[in-house]
Structure 1
Amino acid sequence: MKIIPILYHLNGLSYTVRCAEEIDADQLSQIRLQIDGETSFLDREPGEGMLSPFDFKHLIRTDLEAVNRLFLLAETESGKIIAFSRCEGSSLKRLKHKVEFGIGVLKDYWGYKIGPHLLQSSLTWATENKLAKMTLSVIETNDKAIKLYKQFGFEVEGILKKDKLLEDGEYYSTIIMSRFLSE
C-alpha cells in the first residue's frame, strides 16, 4: 500500500516520510542492525533475526501489494534513511481488520518528531483504508514511547509480565496497546 510523501523541517533537519521501495533494501538492512545495537527497547539483540537486502526487497514487495500492510521510512534530503515503521496485517479473514505497528529510529535522530510523524502517517493510512484497530507492543521501561502512544489515543490492553530478559539479567514486561480506528 502507498501514501503520498510528506516533507518535514524540524530543528535544522529536513526529512521525508514516504513508502519504502525495493531500492531501499540495502540501507534498511544496515540501519535495522544499527538500531538494534542502539537501544534495548526492541525485541532483538544486535545481529539477531537479521534481514538481508534480499529479505527486505521481498518484504517491501509484499507490503506494497497488500491492502493491510504499510512500510514507511524517514529519509533525509541527502537520501539517508534514518527511521522506518511498518503496519503488518494478516491474510486471515478473522484478523484482516487490524494491523500491528512497529517502529525504529536511529538514535542520532531521536527528538526530531520522526516517530510521531511515522505514527500519524500510519494512523491516517489505516483510517483511510477502513481498518478497525492498530496494535503495538512496548517494553515497560520505554516511558517516552508509552506517553506518545497514549497521546495518539492508544490504550493499554494487557501486560505480558516478565516477557523479556535483557542484558542486565533482569526480566521486563511488555505492554500491549491498541487504538480502535472505527467502531
Structure 2
Amino acid sequence: MTYQQTIQLKNGARCCLRSGTEADGQAALDNFILTHAETDHLLTYPDESTITAAEEGTYLKDKAESPNEAELLAVVDGVVAGTAGFSAVGSAYKLQHRAEFGISIARAYWGLGIGQALTAACIDCARKAGYTQLELDVVADNASAIALYKKFGFTEYGRNPQGFRLRSGGYQELVLMRLGLS
C-alpha cells in the first residue's frame, strides 16, 4: 500500500511520511537497529536482527505493493527518523478483519509529533485496506505510548505479565490493545 504526506513537526521541521522503497533498505535497517538499541520497549534486541539491507529493501517494496499491508517511513532532512506499519494477523477468513500495528521512533525525534502522525497514517491506511480491527502490544511502563494509543481510541483488552523477558533479568508486562475501525 502506498502512502505519502508531508507534515510540519513541533520544532518547525518538515517530515515526509511515505511508503518505504527498495532503495530505503539500508536507511530503514539502520533506523531499526538504532531504535531497538535505544529502548527496551521494542520486541527485539538490535543484535537479534539477521536481515540484510537488501532483504529490508525487498520487504519495503513488498509492503508498498501490497493491497492490505504497509510500512511507512518518517523522513526528516533525508534521515529515517521512524517507521510504522501494519500487517495482517492471518489469511484465514476468521482473521482477515484483524491487523497488527507496530511503530518505532529514534530517540532524537521523540516529542515532535512523528509518532502521532505515523499512527494516524497507519490507521487511515488500515481502514482503506478493509480491516475492522487494529491491534498492538505495548510495554506497560511505556506511559507515553499508551497515552498516544488511547488518544486514538485504542482500548486495553488484556495483559501479559511476562510478555517480554529481559536479558538483564526480570520481565516486562505487555498491555494488549485494540482499535475498532468500522
* TM-score clears 0.5: yes
* Helix, strand or coil at the partner of 2:35: helix
* Helix, strand or coil at the partner of 2:173: strand
Matched, 1:79 2:78: yes
| CA shift digits 1:44-101 (9 cap, x unpaired) | 112113321122122112212322201101001x311110011011333332212100
Question: Which residues of structure 1 form unaligned runs of 5+?
Answer: none
What residue is the counterpart of 2:7 in the other structure?
7
- Residue 140 of structure 1 deviates from its aligned partner by 0.8
- Name which of structure 1's ranges 143-152 and 165-174 shifts more when overlaid on structure 2: 165-174
TM-score by length of 2: 0.93
- Residue 19 of structure 1 deviates from its aligned partner by 0.8
What residue is the counterpart of 2:176 in the other structure?
176
Matched, 1:131 2:108: no
- Name which of structure 1's ranges 166-175 and 15-24 shifts more when overlaid on structure 2: 166-175
Which aligned pairs between 1:1-183 and structure 2 lie closer than 5 A?
Answer: 1-76=1-76, 78-89=77-88, 90-182=90-182
User: Aligned partners of 1:64, 1:126: CA distance in 2, in Å?
Assistant: 13
- Give 1:55's aligned amino acid: E
User: Aligned partners of 2:161, 2:81: CA distance in 1, in Å?
Assistant: 32
* Helix, strand or coil at the partner of 2:30: helix
User: Aligned partners of 1:140, 1:5: CA distance in 2, in Å?
Assistant: 31
- Give 1:35's aligned amino acid: T
User: Aligned partners of 1:169, 1:123: CA distance in 2, in Å?
Assistant: 35
RMSD: 1.4
- Give 1:135's aligned amino acid: E
- Residue 124 of structure 1 deviates from its aligned partner by 1.1
- Residue 28 of structure 1 deviates from its aligned partner by 0.8
- Give 1:57's aligned amino acid: G
TM-score by length of 1: 0.92
